[in-house]
């Protein structure tokens, strides 16, 4: 793949916010990985769409080692950091635009909290369809959707630090985009495993602790999209 660059350095306006995602998301990456049905990835090629600093794909490798992986993102500084941190692993990192050059490459694809930021879900589903092999599977997790009652406040808060516009999708919008592009659509509540950490700055997203517990139990969703042939 051509190693082109993007204009965006980082998705968020603050490096602190970027770095916080790494530690903040680890627990949820672990849950997502535990829910993957394909447990033997040793002969598989993997995609992480919106890989940020490469933490998820590194954790996946250490849990279920894979043959090869590609992480893509629109943020150049995040990709550079991902490449540095994962230099010893069979993972390449590229600008997301370079995916257009690939066809029928990946067995399993992932995105964790990325699809809610995409400007065109139909185009995304089409792209994932073209890069997946037949019967390939795409796991996409998000709690950012209008069926989450806290979404109007979250949308405001996220828009304040996002360098790109934040759309307003429903769960049915995500499902329809993939169904319309020939995928079998499955979903489950994410239900993060183990204890959820109560953090000092939670109040922006969760006025009460019960709101945080309910969010991970109810509103954060894991989709499993299977490419039909
Ligand atoms: C909320 S962060 C999640 C990052 C990572 N998946 C995680 O779980 O920590 C969203 C990520 O998606 C990336 N992103 C946003 N729009 C994108 C696009 N159109 N194509 C690829 N990546 C995108 C951002 O740069 C950012 O790294």
Domain containing residue 47: CATH number = 3.40.50.150
Short-list 227, 215, 40, CA closest to 139: 227
227 close to 136: Cβ distance less than 8 angstroms: yes
pLDDT tens digits, residue range 22-51?
888 999 999 999 999 999 999 999 999 999
How many A from CA of 112 to the centre of ligand 1? 8
Say if strands 183-189 and 221-227 run parallel, antiparallel, or are unpaired. Answer: antiparallel
pLDDT of residue 21: 84
Q: Whose CA is nearest to atom 3 of ligand 1?
A: 113
pLDDT tens digits, residue range 61-107?
999 999 999 999 999 999 999 999 999 999 999 999 999 989 999 99
Q: What does 69-110 look like in DSSP terms, one character per residue?
A: EEEEESBHHHHHHHHHHTTTSSEEEEEGGGGGG--S-EEEEE
> Is 93 among the domain residues?
yes
> Is 9 among the domain residues?
no
**CA pair distance 117, 12, nearest whole angstrom:** 12
pLDDT tens digits, residue range 126-178?
999 999 999 999 999 999 999 999 999 999 999 999 999 999 999 999 999 99
> Is 5 among the domain residues?
no
CA 118 to ligand 1: nearest atom: 19
> Is 1 among the domain residues?
no
Q: Whose CA is nearest to atom 18 of ligand 1?
A: 74
Q: Domain of 71?
A: 15-227
CA 52 to ligand 1: nearest atom: 27
pLDDT of residue 202: 87
- Give the mutation target among 114, 119, 158 for probing the ligand 1 site: most ligand atoms within 8 A of CB: 114
Is 52 touching ligand 1 by the criterion CB < 6 Å?
yes
Short-list 158, 152, 151, CA closest to 218: 151
Q: For residue 154, give both structure tokens.
A: 């979250």
**CA pair distance 168, 145, nearest whole angstrom:** 6
Average pLDDT of the segment spanning 194-213 = 91
pLDDT for 1 beyond 50 = no
**CA pair distance 58, 61, nearest whole angstrom:** 5
Confidence band for 20, pLDDT divided at 50, 70 and 90: confident
pLDDT of residue 6: 54
In this structure, the dihedral spanned by the alpha carbons of residues 27, 142, 212 and 59, taken in order and rounded to 10 degrees, is: 0
Is 124 touching ligand 1 by the criterion CB < 6 Å?
no
Number of domain units in the chain: 1
Confidence band for 53, pLDDT divided at 50, 70 and 90: very high
pLDDT of residue 171: 98
> Is 6 among the domain residues?
no
> What is the pTM assigned to this prediction?
0.95
Contacts of 123 (CB under 8 A, 6+ apart): none
């Amino acid at each position: 793949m051509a190693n082109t660059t993007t204009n965006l350095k980082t998705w968020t306006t603050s490096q602190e916010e970027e770095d916080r995602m790494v530690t903040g998301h680890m627990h949820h990456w672990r849950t997502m990985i535990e829910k993957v049905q394909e447990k033997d990835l040793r002969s598989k090629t993997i995609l992480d769409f919106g890989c940020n600093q490469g933490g998820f794909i590194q954790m996946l490798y250490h849990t279920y080692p894979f043959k090869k992986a590609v992480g893509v993102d629109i943020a150049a500084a995040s990709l550079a950091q991902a490449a540095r941190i994962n230099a010893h692993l069979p993972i390449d990192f590229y600008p997301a635009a370079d995916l257009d050059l690939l066809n029928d490459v990946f067995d399993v694809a992932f995105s964790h909290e990325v699809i809610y930021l995409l400007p065109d879900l139909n185009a995304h589903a089409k792209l994932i369809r073209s890069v997946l092999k037949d019967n390939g599977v795409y796991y996409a997790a998000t709690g950012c959707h209008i069926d989450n009652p806290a979404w109007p406040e979250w949308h405001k808060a996220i828009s304040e630090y996002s360098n790109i516009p934040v759309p307003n999708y429903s769960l049915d919008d995500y499902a329809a985009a993939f169904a319309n592009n020939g995928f079998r659509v499955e979903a489950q509540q994410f239900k993060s495993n183990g204890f959820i950490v109560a953090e000092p700055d939670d109040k922006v997203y969760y006025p009460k602790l019960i709101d945080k517990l309910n969010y991970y139990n109810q509103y954060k969703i894991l989709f499993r999209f299977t490419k039909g042939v």
